[in-house]
Every structure is written in C-alpha cells, then in structure tokens.
Amino acid sequence: MQVRPVLELVGVVKRYRVGTDEIVAVDHVDLAVVPGEVVAIVGPSGSGKSTLLHLAAGIDLPDAGEVRFDGKGLARLSASARARLRRRGIGLVFQFFQLLPGLTAQENVELPLVFDGDPAAGLTAQRMLASVGLADKAARLPGELSGGEMQRVAVARALVAGARLILADEPTGNLDSATGTVVLDALFAAVRDTGAALVLVTHDMAMASRADRTLALYDGRFEGTAPGAVDRKDRRPPA
C-alpha cells in the first residue's frame, strides 16, 4: 500500500520584489515527504532554503503551484486556520530558539496547547520535556538555560501537540558541535518515537548525512532533473 505524503510541494514558485528587481526565491519546486521520513535540504545562503520551509509551514503562500499538508492545499485555508495547523500539525524549530523569555521551559512548551484550551497542557509539556532530557529544568527561565537546553525546549514545543511534520531551520546553527549533536540526537529520537516527518535546512553536511534523503537547493531549484535527485541514501519507509 502506498503511503500518502504528509507534505507535498507541486510546481511551487515564490517571487519577491526588491526595488525594481524580481527575485525568484523558489523556482518550480516539487517535493513529497512521507511520515517518518527525514529530509535534509542543503545549499548556499540565498538559495531559497528558508523560503521553502516558510512555504511548507504556510507562513508564506506560493505565487504558483501548491503546497499540501495531508493532501489539503494550504492556500485554501484562512490565515487563522493555517496558524491552528502550525500549533497542531506542523512543528517549527528555529536557529535562535524563539522562546519567550518571561516563561519557564514548561510554559514555553505548553503554549501551543494552552492556546487550544487543553486542560492537560501542563502534564503533556512535562512529558515532552522528559523525552528530551530536561525534566529537571521545567521551572527554569530561558535565560537560566544553556543554548543546547533552550533548543531542546524548542524541540519539545514543536512536538508537544502531536505534530505530524517538523520543519527545522538550521536547528544547530547557533550551537557548538558537541551541543549540536546532543540537540540533533534529541530531535531525531523524538521524530522517530512519534512517527512525524522531519524536514531540516542545514549547512552542516554531517547533520545532513544522518537524513534519509539529502537534497541540494541552488537558485531556488533542487539540483538534478527530478525531486530528490541528490538522494544519497534509500532509507524511506516502505510503500
């Protein structure tokens, strides 16, 4: 039985205007990611990697083509519906953590659940912090945590609502190599345990080598003649 992709980009184009110039950040990109799969996207700065993640999350909408989550086109949803989707179905991990400094680690993790009125938000957040090795740091403020600990809090927050897709933009880019490995181990373990798909943007080829697929993006296009032409491994879940 064929597995339906959790994320699909079909002929996606995104343009920006800078003064009188038009920049094509994403140029007719196709991509399909199935549950449980880890896909790394590499490429030079300005190649369109972060724009691609913003499109996949519904933060930006394409100028042409379609982005689908579980078969549903994101452009057909209202802005509020896309925001709800990012709370419940799509988890985001950023390079600079994006934690609220006045909230504890637990409060940061439980925030997506609180917005949805989940009465078990606190207990669920505690379990997620334990899963990334931070059960003893639940009451700490971000300023009392190391960079690696803050990023693991961000990983827990991305997964706390049961997201089926995690989008990570340079998740270890602000960390030293040893700390980055700890964070990456936590991220991969969490994705493996939940069965979520993971798409990560990185400049770190050692990180990319751990993915099921590594795709190279240049000038808004994947290198090669077909989506995933830079596959280095064939470890996708069976169809």
- Spatial distance between the Cα atoms of 153 and 216, rounded to a whole number of angstroms: 29
Range of the domain at 103: 7-222
Q: Mutual orientation of helices 147-159 and 105-115 as an angle, nearest 10°? A: 20
Q: For residue 62, what pLDDT is reported?
A: 96
**Is residue 227 a part of any domain in this protein?**
no
Q: For residue 1, what pLDDT is reported?
A: 60
**Is residue 194 a part of any domain in this protein?**
yes
User: What is the pTM (predicted TM-score) of this model?
Assistant: 0.85
Contacts of residue 17, Cβ cutoff 8 Å, sequence gap at least 6: 23
We report the CATH number of the domain holding residue 75 as 3.40.50.300
Question: Is pLDDT larger for residue 176 or for residue 59?
Answer: 59
Residue type, 80: S
Return the percentage of the chain with pLDDT > 90, whole number. Answer: 54
What is the number of structural domains in the chain? Answer: 1
**Is residue 16 a part of any domain in this protein?**
yes
**Is residue 167 a part of any domain in this protein?**
yes
Q: Mind listing the pLDDT tens digit for each residue in 60-93?
A: 999 999 999 999 999 999 999 999 899 889 999 8
Q: For residue 143, what pLDDT is reported?
A: 94
* pLDDT surpasses 50 at 230: no
- Under the banding of pLDDT at 50, 70 and 90, the label for residue 176 is confident
**Is residue 238 a part of any domain in this protein?**
no
**Is residue 204 a part of any domain in this protein?**
yes
Q: Mind listing the pLDDT tens digit for each residue in 144-161?
A: 999 989 988 998 998 888
**Is residue 232 a part of any domain in this protein?**
no
**Is residue 218 a part of any domain in this protein?**
yes
Q: For residue 236, what pLDDT is reported?
A: 43
* pLDDT surpasses 50 at 16: yes
Among candidate residues 107, 113, 94, the one with its CA nearest the CA of residue 174: 94
